[in-house]
Every structure is written in C-alpha cells, then in structure tokens.
Amino acid sequence: MEIWRLPISASQRGKLISAGYTSLSSLSSISSSDLARELKVSESEAMNILKVASHSRGSETSNASCSIVEGAQSAWDMLHDEESLMHITTSSADLDNILGGGIHCKEVTEIGGVPGIGKTQLGIQVAVNVQIPNDFGGLGGKAIYIDTEGSFMVERAFQIAEACIEDMSEYNRFLRKDFQECKIKMLPQDILENIFYFRICSYTEQIALINYLDKFLSEHKDVKVIVVDSVTFHFRQDFDDMALRTRVLSGMALKLMNLAKRFSLAVVLLNQVTTKHTEASFQLALALVTVLDLCSVTMLSR
C-alpha cells in the first residue's frame, strides 16, 4: 500500500515523501521520535501518522492471509440471516412477493414510476406499516419521512393509519375466532406521532440532513425506515456541473447504504421518471438511475 492512500493531510504526506518514505513497510520499523525529527513535526503528530499507518497495514495483512476466517461469512449463514430479517409489508401481497416478503431492512430499495402512479402513497404506507407491532408480525418501529417536493398529505396519512388499525383489529378477531370486538389500543394519532417529517428545500439541505441522520438515529434508535420522496428532485434543476452532481449523488447513496447497514433499518428511495433520448427514439427511464445502482429497484406501472 502506498503512502498517498493514507488518510492524513496533504502536507504531512508531502513531508513523508520528501523524507523518503514512499511505502508503508518503510514506516514499520521507525520510532515516533525519530520520525518527528526527520519530518520536522511534533512528536504527537508523528505518533498519529504511525498509528494510521499501522492501522492500514494491519487490515491489509489480515485481508491477505486470514480472509477465509476473518470478516467473511458463509453463504449458509447469510441465508439464515436473511430469512430471520424482518420485512416491512407494503400491504399488497403481490408486491410483497416480488420484494421477497416486503421491504428489507439493511437494504436500500428504490421505487420509480410515472407521475400519479402511487409512489408517495407507497411511501406513506411503508411509513405506517413499519409501526405494526411485533405481535402482528411487524417491526414496531418509527419512521422518518424526508419530503423534497411537498407531496406528503397529512390527511391521506391519517386515512392510511386508520385503515391499518382496522386491518389489525380484523386480524385480531380472525385469530381469536370468537368474533368479539378486539379493540386495538392504537389510535391513528399515535401512528402519526411516530412519523418524523423533514421538509427539504434544496440539495444542500438534503446532503446536510443525510449527514445529520447519523446523530439523529443514534438518539432515536427505534426508527426502522427512512423514506426519501423523491431523492433526485433537487438534483434535476440548476446543477451546472454534471460531474459534481454525480459525485454528490453517489456519496449520498453510499451514506444511505451505510445507515441502512449500521442501524439495521430499511431505506426507501422514491424516484421520478424522465424521457431518455436514445438514438432516434424516446424512452422513459428513471431519473439519474446510473448513480443509484446500489439498491434494488422496483418500477410501478398501471
């Protein structure tokens, strides 16, 4: 591994190279005081550099020799893990089947479609269904709804919450088989209270929020789904530098993937479609899809 890949500042790197240290192995046998003298930096800085170097070296050697044992998981264990993962139902049996049980946790799912097809509806449904208690086969978690277009309608969320509670009472009654009124203690208001709503007005706010979610999720550990509606809206306008846009979007996608894995939650991204001019014909395709290919994509059509 080369020096230039170490996560240290540019001037430290420059000093290392001009002093003759071009590879990690050259740093393995030097003490921090000697290094400090050679680079003309403080001893604590030299210690820091050595620590970073040994850390990178350590992970590399373990990858080379012990990859079979460390960090790898057998396919059988993975299957077992996947089966025991809980899913969030979309309330449509067919869609749940296609998704393999529902929206998966620890994964990013992208849902795209033409205007008016029901993407926001599905987003709201998922934000409600994640709250289904464990007794009914749900996750009993809370939801984060990130709205970039202003399409979240509270009245509709209330209707969906009411219907969800009715479904649960129905299920309860069926289970008990005694046809008595089994009142669920949840109210639609309780469901609405567990949806954290963020309204984003620019792509800067979107980036900032996704950075901030790290802290937010550590404080609210019961959040089990993040719905972003829609993820590319702000990136389709006034972005002059296309390369920058691609970098920003892929950075965002990676962070979301990271959040999904670390906090064991599901991330649902809703996307618009646009017309793609290929050769002589026009095709409908997901907006900015090439950047978001870290997720499983579902397309909705009538």
Partner 1 sequence: MANKLISEIPLPKSIANVFSARNISTAKDALTLTEFELMELLDVGLTEVRSALSQISEIVAPPYQTALSLMEQRFQNEHLGGHFPTGLKGLDAALCGGIPFGVLTELVGPAGIGKTQFCLKLSLLASLPTNYGGLDGRVIYIDVESKFSSRRLLEIGLRSFPEIFQMKEMAQEMAGRILVLRPTSLAEFTQSLEQIKVSLLQKQVKMLVIDSMAALVSGEPEQGARRQQTLSWHISFIKSLAEFSRIPVVVTNQVRSRNHDDASRYSFQVQSRDGAIGTTMQYDSHLVAALGIQWAHAVTTRLVLEAKSGERFIKVAKSPISPPLAFPFHITSSGISLLSDDGKEVMGPEINAIHCQGHNEIINFGMEGLH
126 binds partner 1 (CB under 8 A): no
Among 26, 32, 48, 172, binds partner 1 (CB under 8 A): 48
Q: Which helix (H) or strand (E) holds 254?
A: helix 242-263
Strands 87-88 and 103-104: antiparallel
184 binds partner 1 (CB under 8 A): no
The token duo for 190 is: 């309780």
Nearest to 136 by CA among 173, 84, 92: 173
Q: Minimum distance from CB of 68 to partner 1 (Å)?
A: 30
74 binds partner 1 (CB under 8 A): no
Q: Minimum distance from CB of 173 to partner 1 (Å)?
A: 27
17 binds partner 1 (CB under 8 A): no
Q: Is the Cβ–Cβ distance between 300 and 288 less than 8 Å?
A: no
Name which of 28 and 283 has its Cβ closer to partner 1.
283
Q: Is the Cβ–Cβ distance between 113 and 136 less than 8 Å?
A: no
Name which of 173 and 236 has its Cβ closer to partner 1.
236
Interaction residues for partner 1, span 85-124 (CB under 8 A):
114-116, 120-121
CA-only gyration radius of the chain, Å: 25
For residue 149, give the 3-state DSSP assignment: coil
Q: How far apart are CA 138 and CA 194, in angstroms?
A: 15
Residue 301 phi, psi (nearest 5) = -150, 160
Name which of 69 and 242 has its Cβ closer to partner 1.
242
Name which of 32 and 151 has its Cβ closer to partner 1.
151
Helical pair 119-129 and 154-176, crossing angle rounded to 10 deg: 50
Name which of 45 and 173 has its Cβ closer to partner 1.
45
User: Which residues contribute to the site for partner 1 (CB under 8 A)?
Assistant: 7-11, 48, 114-116, 120-121, 144-145, 149-159, 189, 192-205, 207-209, 211-212, 214-216, 233, 236-238, 244, 247-248, 251, 272-275, 277, 281-285, 299, 301-302
